[in-house]
Amino acid sequence: MPPQFTPACHPPPGWVPPPGPVGPPRPAPTLTPAGQPLASFTDRLLAALVDAAVFYGVGLVLAVPALIIFFAVVLPDLVRIAPDGSVAQPDLWRDFLVPFLWMELAIVAISFVVAYVYYVEMMFRTGQTYGKKVMKLRVVPLDPDRSLDRRAAVRRFLVQQVGGLVPGLGYLDGLWQLWDKPWQQCLHDRFAGTVVVKVAP
């Protein structure tokens, strides 16, 4: 008996294979009690970097002219000609260090005022700093029955300022959201009763 050959089986024209298995669905973002999606760590970090660039840019604009004026005023006093024509020895403490410390104190005070205006007055009115606007984030109260007020903004600001003075506390404050569940709050959020949410583009 001659061998039998089975004709090759080909799919009909236009046939498309079925899609492969579908993976597990992405987890839904955590929502605030008001139903708003919480901001991610990456978005908050990028917003903080934008804010830092704005703040330090303003600080540089203020500090550079102050330093130029300081040295233009102080340096001539460090080189004094005595009546006999010799160069008098300057009093570095009185003629340089004390004025320099006063200038530094003035820069710190002005920087604090600028930071207060930026992180409190600007933020509590809209819930956004410039960095948060860029990243489409907003600070809102955790309690949906409350509105964001100056008191909450001041609380956030004070914790952030203390974090900048205590070594390591600023990093702990910012990283706290990674393990804070379910609201992903930083320490300054917890102290102020706020959360950061993602707003619609």
Q: Each residue of 83-100: pLDDT tens digit?
A: 666 666 767 777 788 888
Residue 189 lies in a domain: yes
Higher-pLDDT residue of 172 and 7 is 172
Residue 165 lies in a domain: yes
Residue 18 lies in a domain: no
pLDDT score, position 138: 96
Residue written as token pair 């990028």: 46
Residue 36 lies in a domain: no
Residue 105 lies in a domain: yes
Residue 68 lies in a domain: yes
The three-state secondary structure class of 158 is: helix
List Cα–Cα distances, 52 to 45, 86, 118, in angstroms.
Answer: 10, 49, 11
Contact (Cβ atoms closer than 8 angstroms) between residue 136 and residue 201:
yes
Contact (Cβ atoms closer than 8 angstroms) between residue 14 and residue 124:
no
pTM: 0.76
The three-state secondary structure class of 27 is: coil
Q: Domain of residue 143: give its range.
A: 41-198
Separation CA 46–CA 124 (nearest Å): 20
Q: Each residue of 55-80: pLDDT tens digit?
A: 999 888 888 888 888 888 777 766 66
Domain count, the chain: 1
Residue 73 lies in a domain: yes
